[in-house]
Amino acid sequence: MRFIDQVRIVVRAGRGGDGLVGWRREKFVPDGGPAGGDGGKGGDVVFVADDHLTTLLDLKFRQHFAAESGRPGGPNKMTGRSGNDLRIRVPVGTTVFFEALAGEPGERPPWLADDLDEELDQIGAIAWTDDGTDIPEPVRVQKSGPIRRAQAEKDRRETELEPGAQLGDLTFHGQELVVAHGGLGGRGNVHFRSSTNRAPDFAEPGITGDAYWLRLELKLLADVGIVGFPNVGKSTFIRAISRARPKVADYPFTTLVPQLGVVALAGERSLVVADVPGLIHGASEGRGLGLDFLRHLERTRVLLHLLSPDPTPGRDPMVDLKALEKELAQYGSMFEGRPRVVALNKVDTPEGQEAMGPLRKALRAQGIPLFPISARTGEGVPELLEALWRRVDMVRRGGVSGPTPASQS
């Protein structure tokens, strides 16, 4: 089973700037002729793979991404400035899928009258220009030329895009993928002077940039695997620290498939925590859903032992901890040396308060700190997350043996 993080976003490349209808105005030159410059190209939207990022969390908070449009052409044949590309950092390992075309915001200006539209349609497609004056100048797309070709190319791209089609895969640090192309700028009227028309009063509009709904997918390696007996509050904990919503109930084995929570910490840090279904005695021999769960844990960087004071027969937290460790050791040697954190949940209850002292003492004898928390009230949770972060960070930097690459699939 793979853990998958995914997010849907809209990317909009910049529109090309319109060509300008402009005239040479020089002293002593009565009829200056056309001098409107070309519009600048719209910016692209580019994904850049960055190995400092480990999740798609940042994109979830901001779903719309637009690159800058090109500026219109200027007077004296000046080309408008191109729009800046929008570069979006994504984690290495991100796969990009096309979902749908996104509608153009304000595609045609409302002041463009329909009849004028029809009339000009006879000549070519019509649009508008913004040359800085209040009166919009109608502009035409020429029957051939770069704008026609760029538009045809864009149309072809769009008809060929199937929902779900993979646009690309970012596999190494620094790799770039252009996911939405900026529109070409239109040509200014300076280009359209001919022997029959010495004063062309039209220019070309720029074309719109690609606007797509994309789905990004990232296979995650869980940073933290929660090890715990059924009913200790693993799912409640995941709900408290992330936007994941696994079911919580007061009976054991509520969770049957691993649940992932992506946790945001201050300073652009994030942690992936996996709620692995409850471990029971004999799991290493395949009891319960045992082996599957241990296999999931194999792929984590740090183990969080979650204990609870539930007064069920034989459920003393310290006994639980020993039993959990025994299961891990019997499964294999891969957990040896993997950092562990021990937390006692449900300290908002009298039983929790009672269990805290003896457990802390017993653990201290082995040099293990205890993090008392309540997944219900949030008490102690920030401290626990910081402790987990320190260890995860250490493993990510290669300081401590983590899961082997072979088990990262």
The residue whose two tokens read 């183990």 is 303
CA 70 to chain centre: 26
Task: Find residue 305's DSSP bridge partners.
Answer: 227, 342
**Does 228 engage in binding with ligand GTP (CB under 6 A)?**
yes
Binder to ligand GTP among 230, 269, 340, 362 (CB under 6 A)? 230
Q: Is 247 annotated as a binding residue?
A: no
Strands (E) in 39-104, as ranges, are 45-50, 64-66, 86-91, 94-101
| Binding test (CB under 6 A) with ligand GTP, winner from 142, 231, 242, 300 | 231
> What is the rounded distance in angstroms from the CA atom of residue 110 to the CA atom of residue 247?
50
Is residue 223 a contact partner of residue 301, using CB atoms and an 8 Å limit?
yes
12's enclosing H/E stretch is strand 3-12
Q: Is residue 393 marked as binding?
A: no
Interface size with ligand GTP, residues (CB under 6 A): 24
Tell which one of 189, 208, 255, 270 touches ligand GTP (CB under 6 A). 255
Per DSSP, the chain holds a count of helices (H) and strands (E) of 8, 16
Task: Using CB under 5 A, pick the residue from 69, 142, 235, 345 that binds Mg ion.
Answer: 235
Piece of 153-161, 359-367, 369-377, 380-388 that binds ligand GTP (CB under 6 A): 369-377
Region at 167 (left for phi over 0; alpha for psi -120 to 50; beta for the rest) = alpha
Rule CB under 6 A: choose which of 249, 257, 319, 329 binds ligand GTP. Answer: 249
DSSP for 285-321, written as a single string: GT-TTHHHHHHHHHT-SEEEEEE-----TT--HHHHH
Written as six digits, the tokens of 390 are 């320190």
- Is 205 annotated to bind a ligand? Reply is no
374 binds, among ligand GTP, Mg ion, none (CB under 5 to 8 A by kind): ligand GTP
Burial per residue of 247-275, b for 16 or more beta-carbon CB atoms within 10 angstroms, e otherwise: ebeeebebbeebbbbbbbeeeebbbbbbb
Q: Which stretch binds Mg ion (CB under 5 A): 33-41, 53-61, 255-263, 320-328?
A: 255-263
Q: Which stretch binds ligand GTP (CB under 6 A): 92-100, 111-119, 120-128, 233-241?
A: 233-241
- Site for Mg ion (CB under 5 A): which residue of 254, 284, 368, 396? 254
Considering only the stretches 156-164, 245-253, 282-290, 319-327, report the one whose residues sit in contact with ligand GTP under the rule CB under 6 A. 245-253
Q: Which does residue 189 bind out of ligand GTP, Mg ion, none, counting CB within 5 to 8 angstroms by kind? A: none
Task: Tell me the window of 13-21, 124-132, 185-193, 341-349 that interacts with ligand GTP (CB under 6 A).
Answer: 341-349
Minimum gap (Å) between residue 208 Cβ and ligand GTP: 49
Instruction: Tell me the helix, strand and coil percentages in the chain, rounded to 5.
Output: 25, 25, 50
Binding to ligand GTP by residue 348, rule CB under 6 A?
yes
Which is nearer to ligand GTP, 43 or 277 (by Cβ)?
277
Q: Which does 380 bind (CB under 5 to 8 A by kind): ligand GTP, Mg ion, none?
A: none
User: Does residue 276 have a known ligand-binding role?
Assistant: yes
Selection from 345, 344, 341, 346 nearest residue 388 by Cα: 341
Using the rule CB under 6 A, is 292 a contact of ligand GTP? Answer: no
How far is Cα 119 from Cα 125, in angstroms, rounded to an integer? 10
Cβ neighbors of 150 (< 8 A, separation 6 or more) are 183, 184, 207
Check binding of 242 to ligand GTP (CB under 6 A). no
- Residue 229 annotated as binding site: yes
CB of 241 to ligand GTP, least distance (A): 12
Which residues lie across from 225 on neighbouring strands? Answer: 274, 303
Binder of residue 376, out of ligand GTP, Mg ion, none (CB less than 5 to 8 A by kind): ligand GTP
- Between 197 and 377, name the residue whose CB sits nearer to ligand GTP: 377
Smallest distance, ligand GTP to C-beta of residue 372, A: 10
11 is in an annotated binding site: no
- What DSSP character marks residue 191? G
Is 323 among the annotated ligand-binding positions?
no
> Does residue number 225 form part of the binding site for ligand GTP (CB under 6 A)?
no
47 in a labelled binding site: no
Q: Does 236 bind Mg ion (CB under 5 A)?
A: no
Q: What is d(CA 6, CA 22) in angstroms, rounded to the nearest whole number?
A: 49
Contacts of 405 (CB under 8 A, 6+ apart): none
**Smallest gap from residue 130 Cβ to ligand GTP (A):** 58
What single DSSP character describes residue 35?
-
Indicate the length of the chain as a whole number: 409
In the annotated binding site for Mg(2+), the residues are 235, 255
* Residue ranges binding ligand GTP (CB under 6 A): 228, 230-236, 248-250, 252-255, 277-278, 345-346, 348-349, 374-376
